[in-house]
Amino acid sequence: MERVRWTGHPFVDAGLSAIAAVTGVSDVKDLEAGHFEHAAAELERVLLSDQALGIGVEKSFARGALSQIFPNSELVNLSNWRGRTPEEKAENVRRKFQFLTACGSFP
């Protein structure tokens, strides 16, 4: 893998900064493939947590900020929120997200 470097694009560089912060790397030039995998796993853990999906809390990231920033995200698509209880709905979202990440593609 080539060394990671700043691109000059604010959104890409912000993403690189976030990955470096999550993985504890002080300079993006030191990022390696394993760091990206670790950051992706941490992001998945956070996005699929009970709190992010609205289990046991009044407000949730998936129903609030995420739906505004990424309105077409699989996590905010109402067709994925089927179920009778909040827990059942969240489990259906988790299952769909994990299936799509295992396949390596999103529709």
Task: Give CA–CA dist 85/82, Å, rounded.
Answer: 9
Q: What is the dihedral of CA 101, 103, 106, 107, to 10 degrees?
A: -150
- On whether both 39 and 62 belong to a single domain, the answer is no
- On whether both 28 and 72 belong to a single domain, the answer is no
- On whether both 102 and 53 belong to a single domain, the answer is yes
pLDDT (tens digit, 9 = 90+) per residue, 12-52? 999 999 999 999 999 999 999 999 999 999 988 888 888 88
- On whether both 5 and 35 belong to a single domain, the answer is yes
Q: Residue 101 sits in which domain range?
A: 48-107
Task: Give CA–CA dist 17/25, Å, rounded.
Answer: 9
- On whether both 58 and 13 belong to a single domain, the answer is no
* pTM beyond 0.75, yes or no: no
SS3 15: helix
